[in-house]
Every structure is written in C-alpha cells, then in structure tokens.
C-alpha cells in the first residue's frame, strides 16, 4: 500500500484518475468524500427501498396466497354444496318417482278391485233376475199344469154328466 | 451495479474503468513491478493510454492535468485519499 502512495505510483493513479475518473473530477468543488457519502446514502436508500419493495412483494404474495386458499376453500365448499344439492334433488326425485309408482300401483289395484267388484255386482244382478224369471216360469208352469189337469177333470166330468153311465 | 462502484468507475459521464485499474495498480506496486512497466502493460488493454509518454509519468500527469484544468497537487491529495479509503 505504501509503495503506491509515493513516487511514480501516485502519478499512475493521477493519470488513471484524469483519464478514467469521470465524475470524480467533475465535482465542481464538492469533496470526493461527500460525493462518496452521497453515493453510500443513495445505496442505503436503495437498500431500504429494495427491502420495502421486497417486504411489500412478500406481503402481496402472502395476501395472494391467502386469497387463493380462501377461493379454493370456497370453491370446495361450493362444490360440496352443489353435490349435496344434486344428491338431495336426486333423492327427492327418486322419492317422488317411488311415491308416484306406488300411487299408480294403488290406482291400478283399485281399478282392478272396482272392476272385479262391478263384475260381481253385475253377475249378482243377472243371477237375481234369472232367479226371479225362473221362479215366475216355474209358477206359470205349475199354473199351466194345474189348469190342464182341471180342464181334463172338467172334461171328464162333463162327459159323465151328458152321458151318465147306465145304472 | 452497486452505485458506489458505479460512482468510482466514473458514473454516467466517466470512462468506467477507474476502480479496476486502481486495484490492478495496487497489486502491481505490491509485487514490485515498476510504475512505467505497469503503464506500458496497461496501454495494451486501454487505447486511451496509447500515444502518451509512459517513460516520463511526471510530465504526462502534468500535461493531462493542464488539459483538464486541474491542479496536480490537489490531484495527488485526491488520489491518496481514494487509495487510503477504498483499497
């Protein structure tokens, strides 16, 4: 280090400073130290800004993650609700179909029973009518038979009266 | 780029090689190399040094300082300050 601070080496640094120093030479009277300190301050500000942005980005990421997780939860809940609703609807529909089927069966049975009952009543009515007619027929038949017998007796008796037998 | 390095390298208006050359100079001086040889070696990498009298560094430094309107003693103090603080 000491070698460069003295003799020809300091001239090397001066030549390099003059050729490549840029802003180090064009400071308009401001000290090098103050410019470097300003640069350090600028660096501090940049670091603080970077840290702030990083923290903000992390917060944003956390927030985004939280929102995404919440959305996912809501979606899952919605899916579960939708599924439950569909299952509920299916259950209700199945119940309605079962009940409808039961009602149809009951109506069919009732119809059949009514038909059977009606048929039985009709048959009974016919039977009753037949029985009544048969009774009338038998009565007429008996009357006719009696009338015939009476006529025959009366006929025989008439012959006897007209031509009494010789005593 | 780090703004301190950017500043030492000349910033927006500079040529941009000051720090790296200064570090090379410190290393060369520590190794015992002569300042003139170092400058001649350096001129192979930097065309800005070509055409300068690298055998008479005092005259060259004075000439460049005059061209830039700088005081050679102030420059010496500035160069020492930079070396002590940042190498």
Number of domains in chain A: 1
**Over the stretch A21-33, which tens digit does the pLDDT of each residue have?**
776 676 544 455 5
Burial of B36 (0-12, 13-18, 19+ CB in 10 A): middle
Nearest Cα of chain B lies from the Cα of A51 at a distance, in angstroms, of 15
pLDDT of residue B13: 41
Give the dihedral sign, CA B45/B51/B54/B59: negative
- DSSP secondary structure string, chain A? -HHHHSHHHHHHHHHHHHHH-GGGT-STT--HHHHHHHHHHHHHHHHHHHHHHHHHHHHHHHHHHHHHHHHHHHHHHHHHHHHHHHHHHHHHHHHHHHHHHHHHHHHHHHHHHHHHHHHHHHHHHHHHHHHHHHHHHHHHHHHHHHHHHHHHHHHHHHHHHHSPPP-
Q: Are A15 and B65 in contact (CB under 8 A)?
A: no
- The number of beta carbons lying within 10 Å of the beta carbon of residue B56 is 14
Q: Which tens digits make up the pLDDT trace of A105-150?
A: 999 989 888 888 888 899 999 999 999 999 999 999 999 999 998 9
Evaluate whether residue A137 is within a structural domain.
yes
Q: How much is the ipTM here?
A: 0.83
On whether any CB of chain B is under 8 Å from the CB of A46, the answer is yes
Low-confidence ranges of chain B (pLDDT < 50): 1, 12-15
Name the 3-class secondary structure at B13.
coil
B84/chain A closest Cα distance in angstroms:
8
* Residue A23 contacts B where some CB pair is shorter than 8 Å: yes
Q: Taking CB atoms and an 8 Å limit, are B13 and A22 in contact across chains?
A: yes
% of chain A residues with pLDDT over 90 = 28
Q: Is residue A20 part of a domain?
A: no
Range of the domain at A122: 31-156
CB–CB of A11 and B35 under 8 A? yes
**Judging by beta carbons within 10 Å of its beta carbon (0-12, 13-18, 19+), is residue B15 exposed, middle or buried?**
middle
Residue A130 lies in a domain: yes
Share of chain A above pLDDT 70, in %: 84
Asked, for residue A90, whether it belongs to a domain, the answer is: yes
Going from N- to C-terminal start, the domains of chain B cover 3-86
């Amino acid at each position: 280090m000491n070698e460069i601070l003295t003799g020809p080496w300091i001239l090397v640094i001066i030549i390099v400073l003059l050729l490549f120093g840029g802003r180090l030479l064009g400071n308009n009277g401001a000290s090098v130290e103050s410019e470097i300190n300003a640069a350090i301050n600028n660096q501090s500000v940049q670091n603080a800004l970077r840290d702030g942005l990083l923290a903000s980005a992390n917060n944003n990421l956390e927030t985004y993650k939280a929102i995404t997780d919440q959305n996912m939860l809501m979606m899952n809940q919605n899916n579960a609700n939708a599924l439950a609703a569909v299952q509920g609807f299916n259950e209700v529909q199945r119940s309605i179909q079962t009940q409808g089927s039961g009602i149809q069966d009951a109506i069919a049975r009732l119809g059949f029973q009514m038909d059977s009952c009606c048929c039985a009543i009709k048959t009974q009515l016919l039977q009753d009518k037949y029985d009544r007619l048969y009774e009338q027929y038998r009565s007429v038949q008996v009357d006719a038979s009696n009338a015939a017998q009476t006529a025959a007796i009366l006929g025989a008796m008439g012959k006897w009266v007209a031509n009494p037998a010789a005593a | 780029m780090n703004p301190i390095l950017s500043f030492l390298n000349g910033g927006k208006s500079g040529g941009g090689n000051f720090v790296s050359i200064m570090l090379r100079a410190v290393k060369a001086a520590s190794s015992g190399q002569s300042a003139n040889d170092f400058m001649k070696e350096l001129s192979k990498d930097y065309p800005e040094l070509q055409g300068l009298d690298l055998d008479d560094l005092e005259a060259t430094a004075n000439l460049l300082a005059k061209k830039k309107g700088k005081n050679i003693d102030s420059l010496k103090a500035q160069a020492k300050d930079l070396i002590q603080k940042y190498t």
